[in-house]
Amino acid sequence: MTVQGNRGEDTAEARENLGAVMGRAARRLQEEHGDVEGTLQAITSSAVAVVPNAQECGITYVIGRKSVESRASTSELPKAVDALQERLGQGPCLDAVWEHEIVRVNDVGTDRRWPEFAQPARDLGVGSMMCFQLFVEGDQLGAMNLYSSTPNAFDDECEEIGLMFAAHAAVALAGAEHEEHLRIGMSSRDVIGQAKGILMERYKFTADQAFGVLSRTSQETNRKLADIAAEVTETGAVPRRSQASN
């Protein structure tokens, strides 16, 4: 009975400690709100602190199941592994993560799911990996990848904790991206408003006519409306093609 009681106390204490660690990690991620790059970097460093046996972490974006982009990492190792996957066209982030929320590679050197990837990854110093899906948007995937130099470093408990942390990370990243989009949108509206005012003053356009000039120029030149507006605010003149079309 005493032994069982001690085990129960140890389990309760471990869960309490995990809750405190996760709480600190969540607060750190929230501190980066509105800064996507800062949030990505905070995810990688916090994941290593939270998930047992994780030595390195990287955030990978995969586009069209082919293009691999390293967005943040705790060292050069995750970047090297991403580059290897893109070069070979195979690996955890290019394949299984699309179909599974979690991919665990117990022994990179002997795993046969990605035969061309296994030995080169081991040569880079990777013993085991865990990959967690952060988001899927269209043909773009975001994944958080954890690394250890030791084979079989991650057990079911590590996987459970990693999944919990990945859920916090996904929410924080979505919030940061939303705020960034709002900020960019507000900035774009300000620039467009300034450009309209310049055109209205210089050429005696109405507001609708000024916006029409900007829109037509954007279509004719295949450039973003905000970029056209920024040029007008810098030069004070309507781009030549817009003048001709007006």
pLDDT at 239 over 70: no
pLDDT at 38 over 90: no
pLDDT in tens, 193-211: 777 788 888 888 888 887 7
Beta bridge partners of 57: 146
Neighbours of 165 (CB within 10 A): 27
Say what the alpha-carbon torsion angle 208, 210, 211, 215 is, to the nearest 10 degrees: 130
Q: Which helix (H) or strand (E) holds 20?
A: helix 2-31
pLDDT at 177 over 50: yes
Q: How confident is the model over 7-18, as a mean pLDDT?
A: 48
Greater confidence (42 vs 7) lies with 42
pLDDT at 75 over 90: yes
Question: b/e for 133-164, b at 16 or more Cβ within 10 A?
Answer: bbeeeeeebbbbbbbbeebebbeeebbebbeb
Q: How confident is the model over 40-69, as a mean pLDDT?
A: 90
Q: Which of 24-28, 123-127, 185-189 has the highest mean pLDDT?
A: 123-127
Confidence label for 176 from pLDDT (cuts 50, 70 and 90): confident
Structural domains present in the chain: 2-170 (3.30.450.40), 182-245 (1.10.10)
Q: How confident is the model over 83-98, as a mean pLDDT?
A: 86
Give percent of the chain with pLDDT exceeding 70. Answer: 78
Greater confidence (183 vs 73) lies with 73
pLDDT at 13 over 90: no
pLDDT at 122 over 60: yes
pTM over 0.85: no
Neighbours of 207 (CB within 10 A): 12
Quote the CA–CA distance of 207 and 214 in Å, as a whole number: 11
Greater confidence (218 vs 151) lies with 151
Q: How confident is the model over 99-104, as a mean pLDDT?
A: 87
Greater confidence (198 vs 2) lies with 198
Range list of β-strands (E), the chain: 56-63, 67-73, 102-105, 128-137, 140-148
Report the candidate in 54, 26, 20, 22 with the shortest Cα–Cα distance to residue 173: 26
pLDDT at 228: 80
pLDDT at 5: 42
Phi first, then psi, for residue 94 (nearest 5°) are: -90, -10
pLDDT at 132: 94
Q: How confident is the model over 39-62, as a mean pLDDT?
A: 91
Order of strands, sheet of 140-148, starting from the edge strand that comes earlier in the sequence: 67-73, 56-63, 140-148, 128-137, 102-105
Confidence label for 220 from pLDDT (cuts 50, 70 and 90): confident
pLDDT at 22: 58
Neighbours of 79 (CB within 10 A): 15
Mean pLDDT for the chain overall: 80
